[in-house]
Amino acid sequence: MKRLTHLESYVRSVRPEFETMLGDLVETPSVSSDPRRAEDIARTATLAKQCAERLGAQAQIVTTSGYPVLSGGWDVGKQYPTLTIYNHLDVQPAQEPEWKQDPFVFRKEGNQYRGRGTTDDKGPALTALFACKYAVDQGVPLNLRFLWELEEEIGSPNFQDALDQRHVVPRPDSVLVSDTIWVSRQRPAISTGLRGLVAARLSLRTGTTDVHSGLTGGGARNPLAELCAAVHACVDARTGRVKIPGFYDEVLRPTAAEMKQFLSSGFQVSRFKKAYGFRSIRTENCSDLLKRIWAAPTFEVHGLPGGHMGPGVKTVVPPSGEVRVSMRLVPNQHPRKIFSRLKAHLKKHNPDVRVESSGQLEPFRGVTQGPYAQALHQAVQAGFGKSPSLIREGGSIGAVALMERAWKVPILFFGLSLPEHGYHAPNECFDWGQASGGIRTFVEYFSRVADHSAGGDSSLRSSGQALRSE
């Protein structure tokens, strides 16, 4: 109780510094998918290192074959367990016409923070950092570390490089991943699983140059029309049903107990529609919708570049086109198997369509029982004054599967984003309510993990795979 009183004044006192740091990070456009932003990524790494050092942590820029990873923290003693918090500091592109401001100018409006990266994931990263600082200052007997990636939005292609450097990225006893989203502001949510991803580029070239559709139309193949047919061969666009043979073979369907938990999360179809701005969706049934977004795989079309995109009508038959697609996977689907099935299916449908992988991520099931899960549940209750619901996450975090494979320690999720924060969308924002509640929750969690550990709960000192079966 005494600790929480101190905590309140700490939270109040760090707000200006939190906002300055968040502003500096948001105004450095770390768009990992855009090669022209490479310098901004490098600047973000330096900036993040400075932020950590200003709070007394040591921090190291770990080089990889791609963009670096930031690794650091406060080592308080080898006798204590280590907890690593994962966040990422790269961001999505921000070219949507709907932006009401320059996405890379930080704006504070009351309790709201606006700009690309505020909620995904720069705000939560700083929230955790400030919580660590407090816990360390209070003498919480835990080695608190952070791991900040700069290639999360492109599927973590080089994160393994960082994990391989064990002297600078030490294996912790548990991991907390803070890059997930609540169902609603009214009730905190703990994610217990992630969907995987198979992204692919389908391309077709039938000519070498734009040709006149009057002079050649009828004889010329139309690569865009053929790619539309290829998409139609893969998915029933209205129902979302994927038509690739074998696609659903390994899907682990959610249990009745899980479905019950999903339904008690406070999820509302109408709120979902409003939060994401949908005019209509594929189902209005709550149970069906939750199954679709958290526990079922998908096939999406993201864009079909090719042909005339400029102003006006141009009646040409283009020489080529491509479709960018991705599939979200659920446990126990295997990205490589699914990609092979897509390839085989399209080869049968139209052998001229080239299918290339644009990234694969495994689906993931997190820790839902045992002392860590319990500590997190209680910490959220303390930090936000409300008991959290156990949900799943429809998104994918590539680094998670890699950390699990490398470290074999429990990985838990606690994110701070809200549906209205515009995660991966225009007008992204974060807010002080989530940041301050987040600092409280993280501090409480660290404290409980330390208490359990000191109380001889040996299961909190990981000894490898064993713990994962909790």
Select the span of 41-49, 231-239, 369-377, 460-468 touching a copy of itself (CB under 8 A). Answer: 231-239
Sheet holding 320-329, edge to edge: 320-329, 196-205, 354-361
Q: Which of 258, 457, 257, 455 is nearest to 371 (CA)?
A: 457
Q: Is the dihedral of CA 376, 380, 383, 385 positive or negative?
A: negative
DSSP conformational letter for 237: T
Least spacing, CB of residue 193 vs a copy of itself, in Å: 12
Q: Under rule CB under 8 A, how many of the chain's residues touch a copy of itself? A: 101
Backbone angles phi, psi at 325, to 5 degrees: -130, 160
Beta partners for 73? 58, 145
By CB under 8 A, residue 391 contacts a copy of itself: no
Q: Which of 4, 105, 168, 215 binds a copy of itself (CB under 8 A)?
A: 215
**Cα separation, 327 vs 234, whole angstroms:** 11
**Which parts of 22-51 interact with a copy of itself (CB under 8 A)?**
33-36
Least spacing, CB of residue 316 vs a copy of itself, in Å: 6
**Which parts of 268-287 interact with a copy of itself (CB under 8 A)?**
272, 276-283
By CB under 8 A, residue 415 contacts a copy of itself: no
Amino acid identity, position 382: A
Q: What are the start-end ranges of the E strands in 134-195?
A: 143-149, 174-177, 189-194
Q: Which of 1, 256, 257, 309 binds a copy of itself (CB under 8 A)?
A: 309
Q: Which of 138, 160, 165, 206 binds a copy of itself (CB under 8 A)?
A: 206
**Cα separation, 426 vs 434, whole angstroms:** 19
- Closer residue to a copy of itself (CB): 15 or 424: 424
- Closer residue to a copy of itself (CB): 9 or 208: 208
Q: Which of 181, 342, 403, 409 binds a copy of itself (CB under 8 A)?
A: 181
- Closer residue to a copy of itself (CB): 237 or 263: 237
**Which parts of 76-115 interact with a copy of itself (CB under 8 A)?**
92-93, 95-96, 98
DSSP conformational letter for 343: H
**Which parts of 322-351 interact with a copy of itself (CB under 8 A)?**
323-324, 326, 328, 350
Question: What does each C-alpha distance from 220 to 169, 309, 385, 394, 419 come to in angstroms?
Answer: 56, 20, 65, 41, 46
Question: What does each C-alpha distance from 194 to 185, 187, 263, 294, 363 come to in angstroms?
Answer: 20, 20, 18, 8, 6
Site string for a copy of itself, 349-378 (x = CB under 8 A): -x-x-----xx-------------------
Residues 106 and 115: beta-carbon distance below 8 Å = yes
By CB under 8 A, residue 390 contacts a copy of itself: no
Q: Which of 298, 349, 345 is nearest to 325 (CA)?
A: 298
Site string for a copy of itself, 185-204 (x = CB under 8 A): ----------x-x-x-----
Q: Which of 229, 259, 344, 406 binds a copy of itself (CB under 8 A)?
A: 229
**Cα separation, 384 vs 81, whole angstroms:** 26
Crossing angle for the helix pair 432-454 and 371-384, nearest 10 degrees? 140
Least spacing, CB of residue 248 vs a copy of itself, in Å: 13
By CB under 8 A, residue 252 contacts a copy of itself: no
Q: Which of 23, 72, 254, 319 binds a copy of itself (CB under 8 A)?
A: 319
- Closer residue to a copy of itself (CB): 79 or 208: 208
Question: What does each C-alpha distance from 208 to 107, 211, 223, 281 come to in angstroms?
Answer: 47, 9, 12, 39
Least spacing, CB of residue 327 vs a copy of itself, in Å: 9
**Cα separation, 222 vs 304, whole angstroms:** 13
By CB under 8 A, residue 468 contacts a copy of itself: no
Select the span of 55-63, 66-74, 131-139, 217-225 touching a copy of itself (CB under 8 A). Answer: 217-225
Beta partners for 72? 59, 146
Select the span of 19-27, 60-68, 100-108, 422-430 touching a copy of itself (CB under 8 A). Answer: 422-430
- Closer residue to a copy of itself (CB): 73 or 297: 297
